[in-house]
Chains A and B, each alone.
Chain A
Amino acid sequence: MEILGLYNYWVFAVLLMTGFYAVIAKRNLVKKLIGLSLFQAAVFLLYITMGKVDGGTAPIFSGSDTTIFSNPLPQVLILTAIVVGISTTALGLGIIVRLKEEYGTIEEHEIQEIDER
């Protein structure tokens, strides 16, 4: 079990870098935004993992005094971050839709070519 104790963090690292790969290597703007969402999800996972306490439960009082609770603070931060994340993603999609209307493409290098002309 000791070695599995870091598994969540490894998944975080792999997920973060998978998302980052899509951002830097892909030329399609929607794909870049999807990569950014994955990147975000990895960060959420890191925070929530750090808040977990062994034998704990969700931080909601239910009567008995002896219960161990997991850390509520990372949960609060991530809860708001998820909703802010979807709003900013929507803003990014809005920009992409406008780019498509102006340039007729959402491929990064084609937009650059049109700009250089």
Chain B
Amino acid sequence: MIVIFGIFLLTLLVITAIAIVRTDNLFVAVMLMGIASLLIAGNFFLLDAADVALTEAAVGAGISTVLFLSALALTSERERARSSNKILSFTVVTAAAMILIYATFDKPRFGDPEAPAQTHVAPWYLEKTPEYIDIPNVVTAVLGSFRGYDTLGEVFVVLTAGIGVLFLLGSGAPLGSLPQEQVNEGLRHHLIPRVIGRVLIPFILLFGLYVQFHGEYGPGGGFQAGAIIAAGIILFALLEGEQRALSVLPARVLLGLMAFGPLLYGAVGIAGIVLGGNFLDYSVLSSDPVKGQQLGILLIEAGVGITVTGVLLGIFHAFAARGR
């Protein structure tokens, strides 16, 4: 039954993808991207990846849509030119798809427990997590501790992308200096979105904090929580106007948050060296190695969450400020 449902979702996904490419209205394409993200998130859930589904739903269907729409507001909503070299492109793409499909016949069957991917390091992670780290969510354990170097690198990539956007678009002019009529009022005069948003936003933020601090026990962690909290605050900015959002979290604070996350993460790593272990070895943070691991993961997840929130909000405000 679940297999059939998965196939249904994937078929819908392919149809959506083709519609996205075929439409020449970019607004429609962005909305369909949101639907595609939601379908993918549903699929990830069926494939046992609860953490990934959560991230995809928050990032793909939420933040990505908002960013694309703010970029469309600054550019144009319609594609003007027809495609170039349609036939040649189509031939190349079809040929490549055929080769890829031909290659899949050598792949292990879906869900095969004997597949090479399942027999290499994964059993080790599943076996050793209770012993070394003792938290229920293996994904968080691998992300935070076993592969902490990777995650540190990813956090720096997120920070770098955020800095790049701020360099390109500027972090926004100080709003106080603008004449009143130029200030973006959001949807403040629309009663229904405003009332519903007011009810929803506290719960979105609360859920974000829950996902952040419950990441060791259930699906969650810094990446998901950062995306959810950023989505909540972006909703606030859309409803109440950008200025209100910036008076709650000023641009300077956002810059601080962007930089503070990687600093916290790096500091935890260096604390490991100072206390006599290796870089990002959390075992030495406490007298009990397992408690040390848990403390380390809590801290670096906080660092990840802070960076992701700061960067996503900084990017959003950079686009929104450009529109004035």
**Chain B residues with CB below 8 A from A44, complex form:** 40, 44, 52, 56
Are B20 and A34 in touch, CB under 8 angstroms?
yes
**How far is A106 from B161 in the complex, measured between Cα atoms in Å?**
21
**How far is A68 from B122 in the complex, measured between Cα atoms in Å?**
12
Number of interface residues of A (CB under 8 A): 86
**How far is A49 from B10 in the complex, measured between Cα atoms in Å?**
12
Judge if B86 is at the interface, Cβ distance under 8 Å. yes
Query: Which chain B residue shows the least CB distance to A72?
Result: B138
Number of interface residues of B (CB under 8 A): 107
30 A-B interface contacts by CB (under 8 A): A5-B111, A8-B110, A11-B10, A15-B17, A34-B26, A37-B64, A44-B44, A48-B44, A53-B48, A54-B112, A56-B111, A58-B49, A59-B48, A62-B136, A69-B138, A70-B48, A71-B117, A73-B121, A74-B117, A75-B51, A79-B55, A81-B154, A82-B223, A83-B158, A87-B311, A88-B157, A91-B168, A94-B164, A94-B169, A109-B84
B contact residues vs A (CB 8 Å cutoff):
3, 6-7, 10-11, 13-14, 17-18, 20-21, 26, 29-30, 33, 36-37, 40, 43-44, 47-52, 55-56, 59-60, 63-64, 67-68, 71-72, 74-76, 79-86, 89-90, 92-94, 96-97, 100-101, 104-105, 107, 109-113, 115, 117-118, 121-122, 125-126, 129-130, 136-139, 141-143, 147, 150-151, 154, 157-158, 161-162, 164-165, 168-169, 217-219, 221, 223-224, 226-227, 308, 311-312, 315, 318-319, 322
A contact residues vs B (CB 8 Å cutoff):
1-2, 4-22, 24-28, 30-31, 34-35, 37-38, 41, 44-45, 48-62, 68-91, 93-98, 100, 106-110
